[in-house]
A and B are shown apart, each in its own frame.
Chain A
């Protein structure tokens, strides 16, 4: 499988299935690991880094025989391809933008990816659609074991797994659940949620994590502490709080349905109307409107389109995806026109969709 094959499908984390999939987009866990025999990234020479890429690729490939993997060097990739991987959450923005030998190994089903030479030698991440942290942990734990069997990790008896930044030392684990919380935003309760989460040392970030806006009412909840608690404890802390937030969001939706039905129905219908008729639209407005439509579909205010398709449109209307699908680089005003055309085509009444619309 190759990079271009990914473009048209949704990827595991946006499939729109799994427990609580109306509100929980995805569950994701990452582990930060370093090889014991090499300096950390900022003191490793380009030769060392290349050696780390080669070594990990070889050993990881051996441990995953029979699995369809996509091996990519980041440096020679076109900018648009790097951006595509960022939009799919397969690599971080940091890996896309930094310098030097670095790579990613991607599971063709997009259930995991392994970044090599990001902030740490290894950033392993596993993800699934919906709320299923334990299944994700089982997968990543297995992958971690398989790598560790072949290459010794930097580990300290007392401090645990050693990382380039002391904020990740110990378990090196970040568990993160992505939620769609439009009703909490509309009812202005999201602030309360943020505040209570921060009190218990959980972080809230936008769709694309570091440096991203809260686009489309998507929020990622994750742990900040990595030392002094077991992996299970860290997962449980996030796993326990998520149902509480889901419950708040459901209550807010119920409240809106009951107390403000016309307004809500109007908001959702207008959003749907704009997406189906606009002639030029930027990515931010698209996300904003798709968010309303997604909630409208969940509340059965919109019945002629499903959540998987809306999820797909969230991804396909991002700049790199759009350009790959249309087949060429465009400036932002041309992209806005093509984005509107793409949305009209995929949301129009006569549901004769182009290829790829229902992929996956």
Chain B
């Protein structure tokens, strides 16, 4: 078998498992080394994730449904599903709840599991409402500044300060 990227014989047969569904690659030593070492781990992770998502959401979905899904936005940070899908990065912790239905199969694909095992923070996760509120307030502040609504911005700033000090 020839290398998929040149005419040398393929001596490396790589099965990429990170994509959930195994994909086969047949490469010569040089290209295999290049592939294995130069393909960035996080980079391919994002690439794989985009591919996985694309696969996941096109199954049984019409273009309209897809367009609708893409426009869904997190109420806390405002990121749309489309933005996440194209950047491979989430916007805030609440996205894991906002996009739960889409993320769960993705996470299962990546990790083969859905439940964390291991270390937990010493303090309880109580007060998470307030934390989400802070992210929301900061976003509102940004928008107020952008629209030059300085009166609102100053109010929001005070509100953020009060909520923050409450917490620590």
Give me the interface of A with B, judged by CB distance under 8 Å.
Answer: 34, 36-45, 48, 94, 119, 141, 144-145, 148-149, 152-162, 164-167, 169-171, 188, 191, 194-195, 198-199, 201, 203-206, 209-214, 219, 222, 224-233
Contact = CB atoms under 8 A, between A and B. Distances in A.
B125 A155 contact: yes
Contacts of B79: 42-43
Given A191-B12, A205-B41, A225-B110, 17 more contacts: A38-B135, A38-B138, A40-B93, A148-B121, A148-B122, A149-B122, A156-B96, A165-B89, A199-B15, A206-B37, A212-B38, A213-B37, A219-B37, A225-B113, A227-B110, A227-B116, A233-B118
B45 A43 contact: no
A187 to B, nearest CB: 12
Interface of B: 11-18, 29, 32-34, 36-38, 40-43, 45-46, 49, 76-79, 87-93, 96, 103, 106-107, 110-123, 125, 127-128, 131, 134-135, 138-139, 142, 164, 167
Contact of B89 (A42, A209, A232): A42
B37 A204 contact: yes
A191 B11 contact: yes
27 contacts: A37-B134, A39-B138, A40-B77, A40-B92, A42-B79, A43-B91, A144-B119, A145-B122, A148-B123, A149-B123, A152-B121, A152-B123, A155-B120, A156-B96, A164-B89, A165-B89, A167-B45, A167-B110, A169-B116, A170-B116, A205-B36, A211-B38, A213-B34, A213-B38, A226-B111, A228-B117, A230-B117
Contact of B77 (A39, A199, A229): A39
B139 A229 contact: no
B142 A45 contact: yes
A232 B118 CA distance: 8
